[in-house]
């Protein structure tokens, strides 16, 4: 959920001028970069793979059902919810995203109906160590074109958030380090192309995530980009196809004048596609 407070709205031309087929556009975008299935992806995660991790992290990965399953290396997922700019009312939003581990990639296409009438479409990407946010109003007027170090880190931190909530076995590799905090939380750090982001993950007694917090994202305020704490509290969990699934998602900034939730909704469990090359995903 890589959204910001201003018109830094995620997309390029592949989503279509009005964002009517986000699923197809995000797959076309991802197919430009992910073409080969990684080797040894069928090897299941074992208890030994978790031995060196902090207790809270082992409990989390156990609760998420990673042991005994092959490691996930990609997923395609839909999100339906609502979004708001600072000081404005909520607006409907709809997105599709494709994340991959080899290479590490995130491409996210979104449509927001501004004022419930005017479509704004955008794209957030993290490709080859570079993050970017681009957006157009009515598919014609550029309202966002963000890139640079802040976006590199911010998009990588959002990739980390996606993996924690939806595909934790993507984090079992040499690019990720885990550290203990206490019985109910741990930190997890991800390194890619010289960038390093860190988040604190809080879990309940069963090991399921209740919150994710990072300071490796920048909020777009009237005075410019400001580094701020960003959290994604989880409303609850259900079980879908034998895997835990978040029942509600929210992203919010922690600003000097208070907490600002700016996107909320749910990932659509029925539509998730795992471990398939973009070009091989069946039409929706």
**CATH at 162:** 2.50.20
Q: Please indicate, yes or no, if residue 268 is contained in any of the structural domains.
A: yes
Q: Please indicate, yes or no, if residue 5 is contained in any of the structural domains.
A: no
Output 222 or 172, whichever has higher pLDDT: 172
Nearest to 40 by CA among 177, 163, 129, 173: 173
Question: 187-241 pLDDT, tens per residue?
Answer: 999 999 999 999 999 999 999 999 999 999 999 888 899 999 999 999 999 999 9
Q: Please indicate, yes or no, if residue 4 is contained in any of the structural domains.
A: no
Instruction: For residues 22 and 121, give the distance between their C-alpha atoms in angstroms, rounded to a whole number.
Output: 9
pTM, rounded to two decimals? 0.91
Share above pLDDT 70 across residues of the chain, in percent, rounded to a whole number = 90
Q: Please indicate, yes or no, if residue 6 is contained in any of the structural domains.
A: no
Mean pLDDT value across the chain = 90
Instruction: For residues 242 and 277, give the distance between their C-alpha atoms in angstroms, rounded to a whole number.
Output: 23
Measured CA to CA in angstroms, residue 71 lies from 27, 68, 144, 254 at distances of 21, 9, 35, 33
Confidence of residue 42 (pLDDT cuts 50, 70, 90): confident
Residue-level pLDDT at 10: 34
Provide the number of structural domains found in the chain: 1
Question: 71-88 pLDDT, tens per residue?
Answer: 999 999 999 999 987 778
Structural domain harbouring 23? 13-278
Strand (E) or helix (H) holding 166: helix 149-166
Q: Please indicate, yes or no, if residue 7 is contained in any of the structural domains.
A: no
The residue-averaged pLDDT of 61-68 equals 97
In degrees and rounded to multiples of 5, residue 55 shows phi and psi of -55, -45
Question: 120-130 pLDDT, tens per residue?
Answer: 888 999 999 99
Does 170 score more than 70 pLDDT? yes
Question: 133-148 pLDDT, tens per residue?
Answer: 987 776 767 776 789 9
Distance of CA 153 to the CA centre of its chain: 13
The residue-averaged pLDDT of 249-269 equals 95
Q: Please indicate, yes or no, if residue 283 is contained in any of the structural domains.
A: no
In degrees and rounded to multiples of 5, residue 61 shows phi and psi of -65, -35
Q: Please indicate, yes or no, if residue 1 is contained in any of the structural domains.
A: no
Q: Please indicate, yes or no, if residue 2 is contained in any of the structural domains.
A: no
Strand (E) or helix (H) holding 228: strand 224-231
Share above pLDDT 90 across residues of the chain, in percent, rounded to a whole number = 76
Does 107 score more than 70 pLDDT? yes
131-161 burial, b if ≥16 CB within 10 A, otherwise e? bbbbbbbebeeebbebeeebbbbbbbbbbbb
**Which residues fall within 8 angstroms of residue 87, CB to CB, at 6 or more apart?**
none
């Amino acid at each position: 959920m890589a959204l910001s407070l201003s018109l830094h709205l995620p997309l390029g031309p592949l989503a279509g001028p009005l964002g009517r087929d986000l699923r197809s556009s995000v797959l076309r975008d991802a197919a430009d970069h992910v073409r080969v299935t990684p080797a040894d992806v069928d090897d299941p995660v074992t208890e030994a793979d978790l031995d060196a991790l902090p207790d809270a992290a082992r409990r989390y990965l156990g609760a998420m059902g990673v042991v005994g399953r092959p490691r996930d290396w990609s997923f395609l997922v839909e999100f339906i919810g609502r979004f708001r700019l600072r000081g404005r009312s909520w607006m409907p939003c709809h997105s599709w995203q494709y994340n991959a581990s080899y290479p590490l990639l995130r491409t996210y296409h979104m449509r927001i109906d501004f004022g419930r009438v005017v479509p704004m479409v955008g794209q957030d990407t993290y490709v080859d160590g570079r993050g970017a946010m681009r957006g157009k109003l009515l598919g014609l007027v550029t309202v966002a074109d963000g890139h640079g170090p802040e976006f590199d880190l911010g998009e990588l931190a959002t990739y980390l958030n996606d993996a924690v909530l939806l595909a934790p076995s993507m984090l079992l590799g040499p690019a990720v380090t885990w550290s203990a905090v206490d019985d109910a939380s741990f930190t997890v750090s991800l390194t890619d192309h010289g960038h390093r982001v860190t988040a604190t993950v809080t879990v309940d007694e069963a090991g399921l995530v209740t919150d994710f917090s990072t300071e490796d994202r920048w909020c777009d305020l009237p005075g410019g980009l400001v580094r701020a704490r960003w959290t994604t509290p989880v409303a609850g969990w259900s079980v879908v196809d034998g895997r835990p699934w978040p029942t509600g998602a929210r992203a919010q900034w922690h600003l000097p004048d208070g907490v600002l939730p700016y996107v909320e909704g749910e990932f659509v469990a029925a539509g998730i596609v795992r471990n398939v090359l973009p070009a091989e995903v069946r039409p929706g």
